[in-house]
Structure 1
């Protein structure tokens, strides 16, 4: 056990299974809490799950110290969102109740927001909190929160949770016709990396790119951990396919491509197949798509995953590991994805993942898998075996080793 104070800076509450980045951040909080650190979670942004919310119940981490800059603390662990956050939460609730669709930015040629740099107003709220806590370590969620480091003591060890190589993401998006905002160049990213003692990448490939951008900074790859949920590899002959996604631009773009270019080819050959779509992504789609069931955001989608034959992730732009695929594998679902989607997953001959970058090949693989339940069961068993490479124990051990090495090393010349 340790009494060291750790500050963890995020844009929004890291509710597990809410999104890929939230799930990844939650894994760090859980590992740090298990190791006995005194954790102070500092939330910068104004996007909240509802106008009133009980943060610790959502996080499932009792004993966590919370500092939610743009919300008002109420008795019994409740919070009231600040004015702007309140309006955003009400709009999302009313939109969901009334069936309103959020205008999507996932259209070629349109600006797509990929992050938000902290501004002077944010720093005015956060600086007193950090000065009061005087942490020994600070974990920062993406380079967009790096301006907060100006408010911490120089002796505080600084860890970046990279999530993504944003300069590569910008290049990937631009190559697919999008306008990422803000644009992050390799020079921008290298300058941000230099502010940290250690950088945590979600894949080995991202780690190599970080080392290339900033050779003098310690870099470690820690893939997101996952616990198997399914207990056997049997798949039903249900004709059902599964997709999970938030409203992130790359999800919307990929699913729209699938529904417009791939799904009609599939249904032309096999009109009995059904696609179950789970997550907030449904709010970005209007119109009628045949044989598609929109379930919205679910706290537990295990029942839907259990009846599916396999899953898809037709993502076409971005970088870093796609955590939804880990969710699929944990539920015993093999996945058809793309070259972008496969990034970060160890390559093996019997990997329970298929790669298809063109509509015809994607549709053909969907038809082949859906027509062969026995093969889907074989792939499911492989998925449950494969997901063991992403254990929580290995993640925790890797994080503790990185912390120990960083604390034992002389302070870097930031």
Structure 2
């Protein structure tokens, strides 16, 4: 069976790990390269590390990068039209709705796919609830009008998928993010809370809420900050807080933690660090936003609380009772292996591509 020719367009510097969008994009590119004749179009200038990432990839693909740092839309559109003429792709996949303007460059007869990452309208609504700035004030009906122009729309979690499928039918595909990690051991005599995150503004907001409202009430704990979020906290650090910084290896990232947290207060889509913590078999305490798309696992594979007292009580209970950590972590690891294997995440997309 011939491999479909797919042109994947992204503005994510996916070769730089450390944030959810880059992690998701890199995983999808790796999966597509295994089953497609894949070209990735990155409209901006790419640094040398991008080429190194392509050369180290387990499956061959081509990276077509721009030659300026901040290209104008007209230039990106022209480059996209040129690539389509050169490659004659069977499928064009645009990563994020912000690239919808490139739909005009896709020739008639070529299948169009949008990878949403999350719903822009959900993000806008969540920002409004928390009093945050809303840079893209899109309503759900408006977003569906855009997405209705595509042959397939990829949704990263079940709730997003069910709502979009109600509007678009079989064109909506649920394509979560795959993560398989070894389970972390229970350390009965250790009491380390771990928070791994990027510098995304909602992560910074959630960490400040945790510092102000939760951390002062916890007893006998250490808090490790991993990822780029650590650089956002000014010195002197609060008592008991340790800055680990960026950890490039995902398995190493979750080592040395006894309880993981994700105190994010607003956002949309699937929280990649929530999935990674579950996949690492760590007992997790998060908010409703951090659990978005995984609500049915709350109380079984992780603990969920939105108020400071409830969040603190959940953390303290796990710190004080290693046997609870073990039971919750085992359930988390089992749930992640069932839901976030590559086959479970990419199977529906691969089936559709085989039929193109």
Same fold (TM over 0.5): yes
Matching residue of 1:321: 270
Determine which of 49, 53, 58 is the counterpart of 1:57.
53
Over 3 Å counting, the alpha-carbon distance change for 1:154 and 1:235 in structure 2 is: farther
1:278 paired with 2:226, answer yes
Partner of 1:257: 209
User: How far 1:361 moved relative to its partner?
Assistant: 1.0
- Tell me whether 1:5 sits opposite 2:5 in the alignment: yes
Per the alignment, do residues 60 and 53 of structure 1 end up closer, same or farther by CA in structure 2, a change over 3 Å counting? same
Residues in 2 aligned to 1:147 and 1:84: alpha-carbon distance in whole angstroms: 16
Residue 352 (str. 1) matches residue 301 (str. 2): yes
> Per-residue deviation at 1:236?
4.2
Deviations 1:363-386 (A, max 9, x none): 111111111112112222222211
Equivalent residue, structure 2, for 1:229: 182
Residue pair 1:233, 1:384 contacting (<8 A) in 2 also: no
**CA separation of 1:120 and 1:313: change in aligned 2, threshold 3 A:** same
- Deviation of 1:84 after TM superposition, in Å, equals 6.2
Q: How far, CA to CA, are the matches of 1:402 and 1:183 in structure 2? A: 32
After TM superposition, the score normalised by the length of structure 1 is: 0.79
Measured after TM superposition, the shift of residue 222 of structure 1 is: 1.7
Counterpart for residue 38 of structure 1: 37
CA distance in 2, matches of 1:278, 1:155: 46
Aligned residues: 353
Preserved contact between residue 243 and residue 277 of structure 1 (Cα < 8 Å): yes
- The answer for the alignment partner of 1:111 in structure 2 is none
| Distance across 1 between alignment mates of 2:82 and 2:189 | 58
Which residue in 2 is equivalent to 1:156?
Answer: 110
Look up the SS of the partner of 1:295 in the other structure.
Answer: strand
Q: 1:104 maps to which residue?
A: none
Contact 2:175 2:346 in 1 (8 A): no
Q: Return closer, same or farther for 1:120/1:290 CA change in 2, 3 Å cut-off.
A: farther
Q: CA deviation at 1:322?
A: 0.7
The Cα of 1:303 is off from its aligned counterpart by 4.3
Deviations 1:57-101 (A, max 9, x none): 37634521001114xxxxxxxxxxx5569xxxxxxxxxxxxxxxx
Q: Could you tell me how far apart the structure 1 residues matched to 2:252 and 2:117 are?
A: 29
What TM-score does the superposition give when structure 2 sets the normalisation length? 0.91
Task: Quote the residue 2:21 is aligned against.
Answer: 21
* Matched residue, 1:141: 95
2: CA distance, partners of 1:199 / 1:307: 38
- Cα distance per residue 1:182-236 (max 9 Å; x no partner): 3222243122202200111111110122234x43671111211111223x65344
Distance 1:233 1:286, change over 3 A: closer
Aligned residue number for residue 392 of structure 1: 342
CA distance in 2, matches of 1:265, 1:349: 23
- Is residue 2:314 matched to residue 1:362? no
Describe the shift of the 1:21–1:143 C-alpha distance in structure 2 as closer, same or farther (beyond 3 A). same
The 1:264/1:45 distance shift into structure 2, 3 A limit, reads farther
Instruction: Say which is worse superposed, 124-133 or 203-212, in terms of deviation.
Output: 124-133
Q: C-alpha separation between the residues in 1 aligned to 2:189 and 2:115? A: 41
Displaced runs of 4 or more, over 6 A: none
CA RMSD, Structure 1 to Structure 2 (Å): 2.3
- The offset of 1:343, in angstroms, is 1.2
SS for the counterpart of 1:41 is strand
Name the stretch that deviates more: 15-24 or 140-149.
Answer: 15-24
Match of 1:338 among 287, 303, 322: 287
CA distance 1:204–1:282, shift in 2 (3 Å): same
Match of 2:276, SS?
Answer: helix
Deviations 1:278-337 (A, max 9, x none): 111223332432211122221125446332111000011012111111111222212100
Report what 1:110 is aligned to: none
CA–CA separation in structure 2 for the residues paired with 1:315 and 1:387:
20
Aligned partner (choices 235, 241, 245) of residue 197 of structure 2: 245
Give the aligned partner of residue 94 of structure 1.
Answer: none
Note the C-alpha offset of 1:247.
1.1
Distance verdict in 2 for CA 1:384–1:247, change over 3 Å: same
CA 1:365–1:304: 2 relative to 1, 3 Å: same
